């Protein structure tokens, strides 16, 4: 992975993490489905955009790791470990779904592109939720009870539907804005812009956590 791709990981991972901490917490305070909204409109949008313009496997997992790390800097919210695990899981699931996919043009028809957005968003949300339910007790040194997961599985599967629907709009929007390709910026602009914006994301997130706390 070259320096340009690493800078992209830093920027989009930081932006994702900042939105999870600030926008995600705001949505939760308003009793809105924050998980579905953040997965469908933020996570899938950023991961699909970077896959299309950089055409590089592994970037999306790197972004998820940065976003998960940034999520841990906000101590005045719910389960930090749960959120971080969920974000990283979404990155892994996205990488698996899009392993051979680099460009939505391969689908040609908008309906097929929309279907890809729905499938990606739904599986990222549901898969991330399930992985979180399994790993959080283990990481927290609490015994994992498979029966609890089985009991809540229908509810988890149902909760993924809003995320899937939002993923349709997300992926169609990304397909339209793909011409705005940040990776094509000249190096003398690209690196200062990406690094500066990433630093701003971290500063805003940490400042927000201190002010909210």
Domain that holds residue 97: 3-208
pLDDT digit string, tens, across residues 74-130: 655 556 788 889 999 999 999 999 998 888 777 778 889 999 999 999 999 999 999
Count of structural domains, the chain: 1
In a domain, 213, yes or no: no
* CA 146 – CA 159 distance, rounded (Å): 19
The answer to whether the beta carbons of residues 89 and 131 sit under 8 Å apart is yes
* CA 52 – CA 130 distance, rounded (Å): 27
pLDDT digit string, tens, across residues 150-209: 888 888 899 999 999 999 999 999 988 888 888 888 989 999 999 999 999 999 998 888
Long-range contacts, stretch 206-211, CB < 8 angstroms, 24+ apart: 206/73, 208/21, 208/22, 208/74, 209/21, 209/73, 209/74, 209/75, 209/76
In a domain, 59, yes or no: yes
Name the CA dihedral angle for 64, 65, 70, 74, rounded to a multiple of 10 degrees.
Answer: 90
Q: What is the CATH number of the domain that holds 82?
A: 1.10.1760.20
Name the token pair of 143: 């015994």
């Amino acid at each position: 992975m070259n320096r340009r791709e690493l800078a992209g990981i830093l920027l989009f991972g930081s932006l994702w993490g900042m939105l999870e901490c600030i926008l995600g917490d705001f949505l939760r305070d308003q009793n809105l489905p924050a998980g579905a909204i953040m997965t469908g409109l933020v996570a899938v949008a950023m991961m699909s955009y970077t896959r299309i313009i950089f055409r590089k496997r592994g970037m999306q997992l790197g972004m998820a790791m940065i976003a998960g790390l940034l999520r841990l800097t906000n101590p005045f919210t719910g389960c930090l470990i749960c959120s971080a695990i969920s974000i990283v899981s979404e990155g892994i699931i996205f990488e698996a779904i899009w392993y051979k996919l680099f460009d939505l043009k391969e689908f040609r028809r908008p309906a097929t592109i929309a279907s890809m957005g729905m499938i990606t968003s739904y599986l990222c949300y549901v898969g991330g939720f399930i992985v979180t339910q399994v790993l959080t007790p283990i990481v927290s040194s609490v015994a994992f009870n498979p029966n609890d997961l089985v009991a809540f599985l229908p509810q988890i599967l149902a909760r993924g539907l809003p995320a899937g629907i939002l993923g349709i709009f997300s992926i169609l929007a990304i397909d339209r804005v793909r011409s705005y390709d940040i990776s094509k910026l000249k190096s003398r602009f690209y690196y200062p812009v990406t690094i500066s914006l990433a630093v701003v994301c971290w500063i805003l997130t940490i400042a927000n956590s201190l002010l909210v706390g």
